Structure formats: structure tokens, C-alpha cells
Amino acid sequence: MKIPRFEMERWQSEWEHQVRFNLGESGVFPLCLSELVPAEERNALFETELAYLQTDGTSGLKESIARIYPGAAPGNILVTTGSIEANFQLLWHLVEPGDRVLFMRPNFLQMQGLTEAFGAHCIPFYLREPDWTLDLDEVNSFCEQGVKLIVVTDPNNPVGSVLSLEQRKGLEDLAARTGAWLVVDEVYLGAELDGNTLPSWWGAYPRTIVTCGLSKAYGLPGLRVGWIVASPEIIQACWEGKDYTSISISALSDKLAVRALQPEKREALLARTRDIIRTNWDTFRAWMDGLDGLLTCVPPRAGAIAFPRYHLDINSTLLTQRLMERKSVLLCPGDQFGLDGYVRFGLGDPNARFGQALEEAAEGLRLIRDELA
């Protein structure tokens, strides 16, 4: 088995600590440990035994996660090292050579790379402008030859869109008709700009499997805590895979994750995220208006990201490379999400440097426009 290079992750790993302005980040600015643990409770944390934990997740953490999903019990939860491991374990278990896997695009391409590595066929179906909706007839036409999995990221990375409840139902009906698994990455759920938290996809269709984690909507990427919500059979099978990869999450992360998921704390973390992205989206929109039509963007509904189309005659990877060379500003090219002609901006930084980064980006984009003229 040969795993294709995960271009977006590699791009970020190589450059995010080298550039002066990082607008390539996909999550909200992370919290400090001190914001999660009040001073009077810190000593107790120092007594944490740095042991291996129950490897599918401690009962306390599984209960905290199960509480988020109506009808779920701890037996429906597998705790993983980030949602990236949740996606990995799931596809490792479900995908076999020759399977047909329908894959939403644009998207975070981890599950596409894994599908290909496991010898299956990845068939893209597209969210399309003007409002990033699906053509269910198109998806249906791909189902006719059979399909094992339908893979969705909702809210979507990179476009920040949310499928309507009708489109959701449409996909569930298609999955039901073909008996496909519906795999939904919900790592951005809870980061809705308008404050109306969407319901999880969990529970409406028996073969829906949800992956999620604390990295994006909760602002805690460094905890490396994710999870799968699925039937107990799927959970057991994925747990066996985990014996080969990460065994258990860290003991400190377990304690901190339980704390983050206490109902009041959870609400406060999600509210913090929404505040940051609402403010930054307003800044971003005003900034874009000053660019003489260089960028146009469907407003994101959720997530700490915006995915504008640029009106320049250049490939997105070349554009972002030039911007980095000229201005030391990091963006992610649309190519890395399976859709050229766009670039992804991170909206998660609450500090003044967000505005500075946008100013630098504007200068760089104008410069590149003049170079191309």
C-alpha cells in the first residue's frame, strides 16, 4: 500500500512556522491551558498519573461525548487522537480494494487519499456556487453502479457551507436506497456564524457514522482529541485498528477534554469561536470590498475559514507560492481541496496581526495582478 502525499498538510507543516503571516490555518486561535483550568484547580492536574488509559476512551470522556449526540451511549463512541485518526480508523476498517466511494468536493482531502491508498475508487461529487449546494441527481447517477460509502464534510472545509436539511435528507435517502455508509466529518459543527448550532447528522439514518473532535469549533487542536460516533460493532472494529496506531490518547488530554465538554464550558468555548469568526468575517468582507473585485466569496455559514474565488489568470498553487515569496503570507491553494481558482483564508486569529496579514495579502495580490497584466 502506498499512501499519496497529503499536499495540504505537508504545505502547512513546511511553511506555517516559516512565514511572517499565517492565513493558512483552518481553526480558531487555540486557547491556553490557563484559560481551560482555573488557578485553584491546577494543583489537582499535577496529580494526574501519566499512564496509558482505557484504550477506547475513559468512561468519563465517552460519556461526555455521548451526551452531545441524542440517543448515543458510551458504547457508540471511540476516542481517537484527533479527528484525523477517527477518519483514518474508519476508512481503514470500511474500505476494501475495488469499492466505490463517493466523496464530496471541495474538501479536506484526507479521506480521498486514504480511499485511494486502500485500493478503492474515489468518485467526486461537487458542492457548487452560487451557494455551495449539491446536485442530488448527479450524486444519484453515481450511485447507480453501487456505492460502499458516501463521504461528506459538513460544515464544509474549505468553503464553510452547510447543507440544508432537505439536502441532508436527500443524501440520507440515496444512501438508504443503496445501503451505503454515510460518513460525516463534523469537526466544524458548533462554529456556525449565526449562532444557531446545527443538529448532528447522527441518528437519522442507521448507517450514518460521524467523526468529530476538539480541534476546530472548540479551539483545542493541541489536545489531539477526536472521536467516532457509530454502532457498537463499528466502534469495536475501529478500536482494534487503534491498537496498531495510537493505543490511547494522553492522560492529560483526557482530563482536559472532559473539562472542555462540561455543558457550560462547552457552550462558552463554542461562543468564543463564534465571536472570533463573526468579527473576523466582517473584517475580511470589508477588506475584500477594497480589492476592486480581485476576490469574490460566498459568505461562509460555519467554520473559521473563507474560500474566495480569485479573478486572476493563474493556478492556485502558483498564486499562493508567489504570495509567500513576495509577502511572506501563507494561504492554502484551492488545488489542495480539489478545486482550482480559489484560495482558503483562515479567519481564526483574534489578534491585530490578522488585519496586518490581510494588508500584506492585499499588497501581494495587487502586485501579482500587475505582474500578470
Ligand X SMILES: Cc1ncc(COP(=O)(O)O)c(C=O)c1O
Interface residues with ligand X (CB under 6 A) are: 26, 82-84, 108, 153, 157, 185, 187, 213, 215, 221, 226
| Minimum gap (Å) between residue 114 Cβ and ligand X | 12
Pairing relation of β-strands 133-134 and 121-128? Answer: antiparallel
Name the residue nearer to ligand X (CB basis): 310 or 337: 337
DSSP category for residue 19: S
Pair 171, 152: CB distance under 8 Å = yes
* Distances, alpha carbon 20 to alpha carbons 327, 329, 369, in Å: 8, 6, 21
| Minimum gap (Å) between residue 266 Cβ and ligand X | 16
- Is cis: bond before 106, omega within 30 of 0? yes
Query: Which grid cell is 343?
Result: 484560495
| Minimum gap (Å) between residue 22 Cβ and ligand X | 14
Name the residue nearer to ligand X (CB basis): 14 or 173: 14
Name the residue nearer to ligand X (CB basis): 104 or 357: 104
Query: How many residues are recorded in the chain?
Result: 373
Among candidates 151, 72, 142, which has minimal Cα distance to 116?
A: 151
Name the residue nearer to ligand X (CB basis): 220 or 357: 220
Name the residue nearer to ligand X (CB basis): 108 or 201: 108
Name the residue nearer to ligand X (CB basis): 22 or 178: 22
| Minimum gap (Å) between residue 29 Cβ and ligand X | 14
Pairing relation of β-strands 332-333 and 309-310? Answer: unpaired
* Residue indicated by cell numbers 473559521: 304
For 89, residues 6+ apart whose C-beta sits below 8 A from its C-beta are 78, 80, 228, 238, 241, 242, 245
| Minimum gap (Å) between residue 24 Cβ and ligand X | 11
Q: Which residue is nearest to ligand X (CB)?
A: 82
DSSP category for residue 202: T
| Minimum gap (Å) between residue 122 Cβ and ligand X | 16
* Distances, alpha carbon 139 to alpha carbons 178, 269, 282, 298, in Å: 12, 36, 34, 23
Name the residue nearer to ligand X (CB basis): 114 or 180: 114
| Minimum gap (Å) between residue 13 Cβ and ligand X | 12
